Amino acid sequence: MEIKATITQVEGLQLVGTARRKSVVLDTTPKVNGKDAGMTPKPLTVVSILTEMLYRIWKDCGKAFKVYTDYTLASEHPKRFMKIYYYFVAPEECKDAIAKHVDRNLSPILSSLKEDIEIGYEITDTLPEIEDEKILSIQTCDGYSIHFLRDNVITGDVDGKWGMTPYEIFLLSLGGCTGMDSISILIKMKQDLRRYRMEVSGEVDDSTGVFTKLHVKYIAEGNVDEAKLKKSIDLSRERYCGVQASIKKDIPVTYEYEVR
């Protein structure tokens, strides 16, 4: 099964990720009415890992609950994931289901990442107010939320439109991570970058749900030196992108690039 997503530079390091015509902002730097406008790639990765487990938890307990996420990164570059932690705000009826599914690490996306990433969680007793139509929601520690309605995912959506799948969210987190690095490096190289775009795709094993191959195409528009574009990509992939560094070594992450 092939999955695709696209990431487009809007301004500076602000990116917009799109899958099946649904979009999510991939940067927390720009502000909208004094609030962060989007999510950085690493929290987005944490959310993508959790989503498959959440579907199963909700089916088992049938009650609304909320999850806050946190994570620990390696101190050196690339700052890959070392620990991912979840705080469940859930009623008593959900505790057994949460323990079962999180302890068993039933997210296929998590199985695509390195096995030494520690997963932890705790459960609290206070159920927050959740709008009636929402089954559950995830909110990262930086305050950006992703909501789930029944069988689909809504990413930062206040109008109730259907959103992306967990696999599409993961592709956006990978592309956003390496893309922000590459753009930042090109800016420091004083390249006349007018527009940047990434096409991210992944192959998933139908029987296990685990990624078997990932590919990123980088497209730079403007007066950009091709050799410097390649260098910015290589630096991101080899030194800076913590999402890529967290992926298992036996899952190939290939790339191509072009200047237009």
Q: How many domains does the chain have?
A: 2
pLDDT at 159: 46
| Inter-CA distances, 170 with 3, 32, 90, 128, 201, Å | 10, 25, 25, 27, 10
Q: What is the per-residue pLDDT across 89-109, written as a single tens digit (0 to 9) for each?
A: 888 888 898 888 887 766 788
> What is the structure's pLDDT at 161?
47
Question: The tokens 């390249």 sit on which residue?
Answer: 191
Predicted TM-score (pTM) of this structure = 0.82
CA angle 141–110–129, rounded 5-degree value: 35
148 or 44: which carries more pLDDT confidence? Answer: 44
pLDDT, tens digit (0-9, with 9 covering 90-100), for 39-90: 778 888 888 887 767 777 877 887 777 787 788 999 999 999 999 888 888 8
In this structure, the answer to whether residues 77 and 153 fall within a common structural domain is yes
* 113-147 pLDDT per residue, tens: 998 999 888 887 665 555 544 545 666 655 556 66
CA within 13 Å, CB half, 98: 21
Residue 6 lies in a domain: no
Mark whether 207 and 147 lie in a shared domain.
Answer: no
Q: Is 100 found in the same domain as 28?
A: yes
Is 13 a domain residue?
Answer: no
Q: Which residues contact 70 (CB under 8 A, 6 or more apart)?
A: 84, 85, 86, 87, 141
Whether 14 is covered by a domain: the verdict is: no
The contacts of residue 201 (CB under 8 Å, 6+ apart) are: 2, 3, 4, 5, 171, 214, 215
Same domain, residue pair 153 and 36: yes
**Average model confidence (pLDDT) for the chain?**
82
Q: Are residues 223 and 124 in the same domain?
A: no
The reported pLDDT for the residue numbered 158 is: 45
Say how far apart CA 184 and CA 225 lie, in whole Å: 15
pLDDT at residue number 121 = 87
Query: Which value, in Å, is the radius of gyration of the alpha carbons in the chain?
Result: 18
Instruction: Judge whether residue 251 has pLDDT over 80.
Output: yes
Same domain, yes or no: 46 and 133: yes
Range of the domain at 155: 24-165
